[in-house]
């Protein structure tokens, strides 16, 4: 799956929270089609996502922007999915 295809799937959701919830489900289930995408690509594809928010999610999962989903530990994927599912996301301040 390409980044553009993933963005198209998330764009079909009803809003920012639904977009993040769907992305979180992909992170947990880790279907082969998204396993090779980077964390930054997955998080950045969510509706309403800005650069600073993407960095906050990366920090929550303790990964770098080039880390692929398939290279994350279960704990890292759980942390990322939890942050994505929180209302308002991983905003600071």
Give average pLDDT by consecutive 10-residue segment, the chain, 93 residues. 83 88 94 93 90 92 95 96 76 43
In angstroms, rounded to a whole number, what is the distance separating the alpha carbons of residues 78 and 7?
Answer: 21
Identify the pLDDT of residue 87. 58
Identify the pLDDT of residue 86. 87
Identify the pLDDT of residue 84. 93
Identify the pLDDT of residue 92. 44
In angstroms, rounded to a whole number, what is the distance separating the alpha carbons of residues 87 and 16?
Answer: 10
For the entire predicted model, the pTM comes to 0.84
Domain range list for the chain: 3-85
Contact 47, 79 (CB under 8 A): no
Identify the pLDDT of residue 7. 83
Q: Hey, what CATH class is 3-85 in?
A: mainly alpha
């Amino acid at each position: 799956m390409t980044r553009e295809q993933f963005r198209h799937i998330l764009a079909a959701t009803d809003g920012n929270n639904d977009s993040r919830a769907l992305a979180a489900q992909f992170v947990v289930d880790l279907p082969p089609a998204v396993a090779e995408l980077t964390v930054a690509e997955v998080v950045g594809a969510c509706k309403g996502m800005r650069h600073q928010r993407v960095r906050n999610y990366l920090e929550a999962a303790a990964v770098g922007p080039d880390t692929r989903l398939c290279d994350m530990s279960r704990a890292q994927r759980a942390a990322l999915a939890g942050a994505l599912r929180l209302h308002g996301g991983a905003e600071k301040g």
